[in-house]
């Protein structure tokens, strides 16, 4: 009994240490965002002795960070929603029908290859394409690009989830009078909600954190996203560490809220084996 107790105590201490290491960078960011510029360079402290919200005020009033945040939320929301719809509709036949000549696996490999290509290789083709369509430095241009890139990822993820749903349930709904599309909407998609949540959160994080494409395809705050807005705080003479830390805190809020909303489905989706 004593050995088991000490083993449990050691386990809890180890988990607590790991959690502390994981949370410490976030606490340091919050700590820095609440410090004055002189206190940031005055020495290492684990909490602000003279807390201030001046960095947040400068972030929104001087650097107009609200515009970057609004662009990111709009671009991520629309592009992920579009990619989930298109990707799920494309993944459904790959999971339900056996195509000849091994086209199921070939289609999945092609979809995966799109995501495996380095973003730096795609910048010039995307730039030329958006330039011809008059979509450079627009939110619509970024939505189009991110929707295309995320759709391939959604196809790969959702095909695995949809393949695990028994066909008998769907066929029973079709016997009752549902069409295949109606059965997909009313029966299959509710059962695939964990997969949709897991796929959505990965797509949201990848799109929200993208820097290279957003930097290359936009040039003004009217279309630039949060990562690009944070980079503007790095000047030629000095780095605005206080506002930059505040930008990190503000920029993390939408992701944290989204993760909390889909947490239950996301954890269930991971346990179902969608991530290979």
User: Residue 263 domain-assigned?
Assistant: yes
Claim to verify: residue 177 and residue 72 sit in the same structural domain = yes
Claim to verify: residue 36 and residue 132 sit in the same structural domain = no
Statement: residue 276 has pLDDT above 60: no
Closest-CA residue to 152 (of 116, 123, 112): 112
Give pLDDT, residue 156: 86
Which has more confidence, 105 or 214?
A: 214
pLDDT band at 224 (very low <50, low <70, confident <90, very high): very high
Rounded to whole angstroms, the Cα distance separating 142 from 148 reads 10
Domain that holds residue 11: 2-52
Q: What is the arithmetic mean of pLDDT over 197-219?
A: 91
Q: How many residues does the chain have?
A: 276
Q: What digits encode the pLDDT tens for the residues 50-98?
A: 888 889 999 999 888 999 999 999 999 999 999 999 999 888 888 877 7
Claim to verify: residue 80 and residue 6 sit in the same structural domain = no
Q: What digits encode the pLDDT tens for the residues 105-127?
A: 777 777 777 778 888 888 999 99
Closest-CA residue to 218 (of 235, 58, 210): 210
Claim to verify: residue 72 and residue 29 sit in the same structural domain = no
**Number of domain units in the chain:** 2
Q: Last residue of a domain, which of 15, 33, 52?
A: 52
Claim to verify: residue 127 and residue 184 sit in the same structural domain = yes
Claim to verify: residue 40 and residue 99 sit in the same structural domain = no
Lowest mean pLDDT among 75-84, 117-126, 214-223, 243-252: 117-126
Claim to verify: residue 134 and residue 176 sit in the same structural domain = yes
User: Residue 68 domain-assigned?
Assistant: yes
User: Residue 58 domain-assigned?
Assistant: no
Rounded to whole angstroms, the Cα distance separating 233 from 231 reads 5
Give pLDDT, residue 177: 74
Mean pLDDT of the chain: 85
Task: List, in sequence order, every residue forming a beta bridge with 239; answer none if it has no partner.
Answer: 234
CATH number of the domain within which 245 lies: 1.10.3720.10
Claim to verify: residue 35 and residue 92 sit in the same structural domain = no
Claim to verify: residue 45 and residue 170 sit in the same structural domain = no
Q: Would you say the C-alpha torsion 124, 126, 131, 135 has a positive or negative sign?
A: negative
Claim to verify: residue 119 and residue 8 sit in the same structural domain = no
User: Residue 57 domain-assigned?
Assistant: no
Which residue stretches of 34-133 are H helix? Answer: 37-40, 54-61, 65-96, 103-116, 119-133
Task: Say which DSSP state 100 is in.
Answer: G
Structure pTM?
A: 0.85
In contact, 161 and 194? CB cutoff 8 Å: yes
Claim to verify: residue 210 and residue 108 sit in the same structural domain = yes
Claim to verify: residue 85 and residue 138 sit in the same structural domain = yes
Q: Give me 160's structure tokens.
A: 């695995």
């Amino acid at each position: 009994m004593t050995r088991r107790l000490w083993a449990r105590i050691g386990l809890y201490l180890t988990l607590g240490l790991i959690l502390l290491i994981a949370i410490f960078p976030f606490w340091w960011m919050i700590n820095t965002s609440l410090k004055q510029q002189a206190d940031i360079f005055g020495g290492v402290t684990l909490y602000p002795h003279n807390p201030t919200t001046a960095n947040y005020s400068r972030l929104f009033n001087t650097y107009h960070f609200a515009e970057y945040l609004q662009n990111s939320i709009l671009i991520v929301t629309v592009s992920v929603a579009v990619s989930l719809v298109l990707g799920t509709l494309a993944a459904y036949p790959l999971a339900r029908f056996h195509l000849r000549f091994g086209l199921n696996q070939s289609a999945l490999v092609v979809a995966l290859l799109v995501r495996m290509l380095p973003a730096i290789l795609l910048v010039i083709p995307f730039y030329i394409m958006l330039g011809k369509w008059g979509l450079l430095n627009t939110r619509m241009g970024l939505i189009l690009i991110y929707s295309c890139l995320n759709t391939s990822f959604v196809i790969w993820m959702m095909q695995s989830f949809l393949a695990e749903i028994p066909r008998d349930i769907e066929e029973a709904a079709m016997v009752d009078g549902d069409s295949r599309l109606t059965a997909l909407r009313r029966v299959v998609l509710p059962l695939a909600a964990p997969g949709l949540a897991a796929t959505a959160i990965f797509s949201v994080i990848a799109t929200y954190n993208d820097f290279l494409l957003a930097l290359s395809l936009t040039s003004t705050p009217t279309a630039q996203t949060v990562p690009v807005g944070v980079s503007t705080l790095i000047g030629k003479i000095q780095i605005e560490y206080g506002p930059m830390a505040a930008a990190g805190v503000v920029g993390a809020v939408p992701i944290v809220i989204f993760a909390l909303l889909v947490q239950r489905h996301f954890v269930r989706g991971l346990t179902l084996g969608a991530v290979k």
